[in-house]
Copies of this chain bind each other. A is one copy, B any other.
Amino acid sequence: MPDSLDELNARLLRFARERDWEQFHSPKNLAMALAGEAGELLEHFQWLTESQSAELDEDKKRQVAHELADILNYLVRLAERLDIDLIAAAEEKMAINERRYPAEKVRGDARRASEYPD
């Protein structure tokens, strides 16, 4: 059974090829497009309080869902171009984070990563 990210990747690749858009999809350009979408995501939240940000109405929630979709789509495209297995990378990074931030040491303390002493 194919994984949902694999299916999404196949659909995105077909979409790009049918439009002859692979020529624009260098990793550099895709990274820019992804960061552009992350900027749009921010704009939805910038004037909300943290608690307002957790209680979006249906219309706003649908807009945010589409921003998340755009980010995921560029992320999957970028991973495809660079031949990176996204899920494997995420699992590897989680293993690093689990070692780096031991629960008993960092509980309730969320500093910037660079501020933790190694």
The interface of chain A, by Cβ under 8 A from chain B, is: 1, 3-5, 8, 11-12, 15, 18-21, 23-24, 26-29, 31-51, 53-54, 56, 61, 64-66, 68-73, 75-76, 78-79, 81-82, 84, 86-87, 89-94, 96-98, 101, 103, 106-108, 110-112, 114
Contacts and interface: CB of A to CB of B under 8 A. Distances in A.
A70 B53 contact: no
A19 B47 CA distance: 14
Contacts of A28: 32, 45, 48-50, 53
A82 to B, nearest CB: 6
B47 A66 contact: no
Contact of A36 (B39, B73, B93, B103): B39
B94 A81 contact: no
A26 B51 CA distance: 7
Name the residue in A15, A38, A48, A111 with the highest tally of chain B Cβ atoms < 10 Å from its Cβ.
Answer: A38
Nearest to A93: B69
A8 B91 contact: yes
